[in-house]
Structure 1
Amino acid sequence: MRLPGRIAAAIDVLAEIEDRHRPASEALKDWGLSHRYAGSGDRSAVGDLVYDALRRRASIAFRMGEETPRALALGTAVFEWGETAEKLNQMFSEDRHAPEAIRESECERLESASEEGAPDWVRADVPQWAAASFEAAFGEAWVEEAAALGSRPPLDLRVNLLKTDRDKVAGQLSRFDVAPTRFSPVGLRIAAVAGARRNANVTADEAYRRGRVEVQDEASQLAALMAASACAEIAGEAAQMLDLCAGGGGKTLALSAAQGNRGQVFAHDVNRSRLAPIYERLKRAEARNVQVRAPGEGALADLEGRMDLVLVDAPCSGSGTWRRRPDAKWRMRADALDARMGEQDTVLAEAARYVKPGGRLVYVTCSLFATENEDRAAAFTAAQPEFSRIDPAPLWEKVTGAAPPRWTAPGSLTLTPASTATDGFFFAAFARG
């Protein structure tokens, strides 16, 4: 397929997402299954067109004067990929798989439209309801911070120190143009590519298959490393840790490696299907100090009051990951936050039961909304007076060797695409008296 056919496919997928309210990943997967003639390069390019259109949906729709799948796909090809209306029309005339020719009114928009006069939420490329939440979190800088969530994300890898070191893996992956991450001492980054260039497929590489690296955003790596550092201050190598919302095990693996396979890391999640990938990942990484506790009555009863560290990666809006899941920001509604905040309060209260006197509790989210972050941390200390906040700045400095990031408060820090070039992430730590 050439670009005209890929644009036509992107229009179809965007229509499927809009009309049937489907996640982009599912719509793209079904398109690939029903178009088996399309090669991996075609599928990747169609996916990039769809995701880029969703990342910049509000601003592209404003510039095009309409929010149809066709307008979004054409706008993406021109505004984001650098094509021109004239060139596209020429290609369309030569390709039987192309969409209909670009109309004169569309050409005018593609050639001259700008974001001048657009509302702030349009320039930020977020749902209108989310503007207040971003402004509450970032003040006058909120448009800049939110707009950064519309960029393509890099691919970050965490080097598994149980098997190798960063320099060796960097050499093995040199063909992917990897570079050390800015802050994480165990991270490597493959920069985001522009336009129609294919992204790296690291999971097919020997380094990944042999467990030398894991795909993990730098912010998530840093959260685990700071949690481990907070725990090391009180427990050393024999630390007992609980990853209470372990999911697929990314932070569990990072904690295991940070401990050098010493001590004990317990991994638990209330959702058995989310926990399922952890078993193969533990085997591949050769993480031997991890014990998985599957959901069930009494699964954690013997851990109450015994943990040096409990890590809570709470269920949240995921607003900090909208670069990677841009369709999620348009599906989400404001009232969904209320349910999430209730879940966050519940899981924090549950986590407190497992922290021993003198132990640490770390609360993280991949959200950028204060209602899910600072407000929940404040509500927790109000409800649990035996817990006090820990200043995260020394933990950050110890792990990274750098000054604290821009959005660091006395008891928490926030990482963002605009300020740290990571996913959006919130970190708060507490000590139990």
Structure 2
Amino acid sequence: MPSFDQVRFRLPRGARADAALAGGVFVLVALAEGQRLSHGGDAMASLIASWLLITAVCGALLFRRRYPVTVGWFTVLATGAYYLLSDIDAPLIMVPIVALYALAAQGRTQAAIAMAAAMVIGVSVGPLAGNSDINGTAVFMLTGWLVAVVALGSVRHSRVAYAEEEARLRATEERLRIARELHDVIGHNISMINVQAGAALHRLKKDPAQAEEALGAIKASSRETLRELRATLGVLRQVDEEAPTAPPPGLARTDELVASAKLAGLLVRIERTGAERSLPAPVDLAAYRIVQESLTNAAKHSGAGRVTIRLAHADGELTLAVEDDGEGAATRPAGSGGGSGITGMKERARALGGELAAGPRPEGGFAVRARLPYEITGEPKWSGVTDDQGPAGG
């Protein structure tokens, strides 16, 4: 037995809807014209002209999507001519009203207003042509209907335009987010691989053991890069794959960044203050990526030897700072363009309602400082002053 969704009635759309409307109006007008034929007394030429106009007006509706303005003006003028020839109050006026609404819904407001004004003027001068059925009330009611039709069409156009613009903005934001993720994931690991490869080449003859250690780190970094790249592409493709076994990027994986930086020749120290809480996933990811990008820049651009990471948990916000003893801003990339370098870190902080500043320190070196607000969702895990990880920087 077919389901309800398969058998339920569906209204026609597009050209089929226009054909159904044209056919329905033609039938209604034909029924009204039948009364005129039964009464008799009208000249045959007038009857033939009326039927030709009815057929032309209803048929023109089939072409309104291809020639909207031309069809609109034709239906307005032809309908006006029909009412001059016939004293039957037939519903043929529905056709120009539909054309009028369609024009306004497409954003052709000026053409729609001009046609509505022509219809009102034409009806207003009707009594001059001998039509005693038209009075001030009829003109007022028609004006109100036409104003409402144009207004509804304009509202429809505005809503469609707003929805399209919102969709474009969402797509742009998603592209920037993906670009930031790919830059932070691949850029960090590839930069570390580059540094470690250079170290391996330098130590290959002098210290084969350290060269072997650097090559092992390259293998691990490349495997991690491939895993994260597959995970990102899997999300984009929305395919059903096995759930990743590694924990998601967050401050809990800071030790991995420290270990990678150590192999790149950096001495990293982590200082934690405040009562640590469970961070919301977006905040945790942003903090991890900021630390990751800062360590990448320190290893790749500044020639730093020591880096200090400070994480301060306060009520409702996380404050972090990454400071190194390198060459400051002289060799740092400006980070122009969305999703890269310092610009990408600033975008991450702003997306959470926070802020990020990066620049040289007065005492030398470079510093990245960020404030990431969040809602308090859990009890403190621990409280402490400092927690050193990695080689001491003192």
- TM-score, with length taken from structure 2: 0.23
Larger RCO of the pair (alpha carbons < 8 Å, separation 6+): 1
Structure with the higher helix share, 1 or 2: 2
Larger radius of gyration: 2
